[in-house]
Structure formats: structure tokens, C-alpha cells
Amino acid sequence: MATVHHRYAEVQGHRLFYREAGPADAAVIVLLHGFPTSSFMFRELIPRLAGRYRVIAPDHLGFGFSDAPAADAFAYSFDALAGLTKGLLDQLGVTRYALYVQDYGAPIGWRLALGDPGAVTAIVTQNGNGYEAGLIKEFWDDVRAYQREQTPETEAGVRVALSLEGIKWQYVTGVADETSVSPDTWHHDFQLVSRPGNDLVQLALFRDYATNIPLYPLLHEYLRTHAVPVLAVWGENDPIFGPDGARAFAEDAQRSEVHLLDGGHFLLETHVEPVAELILDFLDRTALPR
């Protein structure tokens, strides 16, 4: 089993935490986590990929063990998080890589791909949305209401996602057997988003998520134009990003595979082994060399 290293880098004046494993000269896969977690979500996946690939999994600013400057000291946006990720990869000398994106990791990854199309050799999207068809109305109505108008009522609607029960809901909804998901997951995430001031960081990103939808047509054109291979491996019972979001990648990606598994939003908690097997097979067949 590959050794996973836990490292820090100074990027644009901020200390970013990242996990790294695998041969230094191997092709690279970058793992980008979602809300409200961190690279912790990849703890079981990284060793399974690192036998063949150099794996890099950063914590976004404001998440995990990376710095979390106050919302009035840093302008949190998906543009800014993508810029920091690009800065980290530049510092590590990574110029070509496959992407694994989930939840918030998707709009960060889409910005990286659109900013440097030749850098991305393949995309693995695990409940990482890129289509309006993937947005589950019941979840997104509250977020959109808050984006349109910030009032005590609309803010209360999204603050539910920062509660212990709200985070647990993301982990267990759509899972056939809730006892298969460790409570370490939602308690770990809750502790980190409950740090003083981090709620305002998360609220800023809820508001800025509105900037991601206009990127979708640009993403679709990128997929059609650059023929990057796409693997959509999806928890089909996800209450946030539905399976239509996975199927839609096949409409634009010239080389695509879609696998719907009987799981939820955080598919790795219940299906890490089959997901790892699908990724390794897919990358071995389709990704360009380093």
C-alpha cells in the first residue's frame, strides 16, 4: 500500500494543505473535494490509485487543514479557489493531469480546464455537476432564494446545511444501509465548518455558486471541442445532484462512460472499491501519458 504524505504549501500568501502519494514521475490525478468536507473524503481512495498514479488532493482555502481567513479578509469565490489550486499545481511542477471532481470540486475543476484546456488529460466526475439537468430542485430552491436576496429567512434556509444534522443528511441520504457510513465523516466536517467565522466563509460560497451555472455552456463546448475523456461515476440516489447530471455528460463528451451506482452524494463512503476499479480501468485506457 502506497504511503500517503500530508503536506503544506504557501500559495499566494495562504497555507494550503494537501495529500500526496504515488511515484513522483507517474502521470498525475488531482482530486478536488466538495462541500462541506476536505481531502479527508479521499482517504481510502488515494492509496488505491497511488500504485499507478501520482495523486494530489488539496484542501480548498477555508476547508480542512488549509488556512481559513475570515470572509472579510479574503474574497471567497470559485474563481479564487480555482486560482489557488492552479497556483499549487504550478508550485508542484504539475502541468498535465487527470481531474477527479466532486460537488464544489467540479466548478473549480471546470475553471482549471477552461483556463488551460491542454492541461487536462481526463475527467472523472463523481457527483460533480456540469448541467442544469443535474440540479435537484428541492435542494437548490433554498440556495437560489438566498442568492437572490439575503434576508434572515433565506439565510436560515441555507444555514441548515452547516448543522450537524444537515451534514449527516448529505452522507446518509440515498444510502441503502446508513450503518455502512461512519459517523466520523459528518462529525469531522461539522467540527471544521464550525470554527469561528467559517459560517460566513460558507455563506459567501453559497452566494457565489450562482456564478457556476453560466459556465455550463462553456464547459459543454470545451467537452465537444477538446474530446477529453470523461468518466461519470455517480451515486444515483444523490439528493443534491441527480443522475440526469451524470447522463448529460454523454451528450457532449466524445469519449464518455456513465456508471450509476446505488449510493448517495458521498459515494466513496460506501463504494470506494468499485469506484477505484472504474477509475483505474478508465485512466489506463483513455488518459494521455504524463
Give catalytic status of residue 265 as yes or no. yes
CA 1 to chain centroid = 24
pLDDT-above-90 percentage for the chain: 97
Q: Which of 165, 164, 26, 193 is nearest to 104 (CA)?
A: 193
CA-nearest of 2, 240, 227 to 117 is: 227
- Give 1's pLDDT tier (boundaries 50, 70, 90): confident
Q: Could you tell me the pLDDT band of residue 2, with boundaries at 50, 70 and 90? A: confident
Note the pLDDT of residue 160: 97
**Which of 5, 6, 187, 265 is an active site residue?**
265
pLDDT of res. 124: 98
Mean pLDDT of 20-24: 96
User: Beta strand pairing status for 97-101 and 54-58?
Assistant: unpaired
pTM (2 d.p.): 0.97
- Please compute the mean of the pLDDT values over residues 25-53 and round it to a whole number: 97
pLDDT tens for 59-97 read 999 999 999 999 999 999 999 999 999 999 999 999 999
Q: Residue 289: what pLDDT? A: 54
Which set of grid coordinates corresponds to residue 290?
A: 504524463
Mean pLDDT across the stretch 16-42?
Answer: 97
Polymer length of the chain: 290
Q: Is residue 288 over pLDDT 60? A: no
Over residues 242-265, the pLDDT tens digits come to: 999 999 999 999 899 999 999 999
Per-residue confidence (pLDDT) for residue 67, from 0 to 100: 98
Q: What's the pLDDT at 247?
A: 98
What does DSSP say about strands 54-58 and 14-21: parallel, antiparallel, or unpaired?
antiparallel
pLDDT at residue number 253: 96
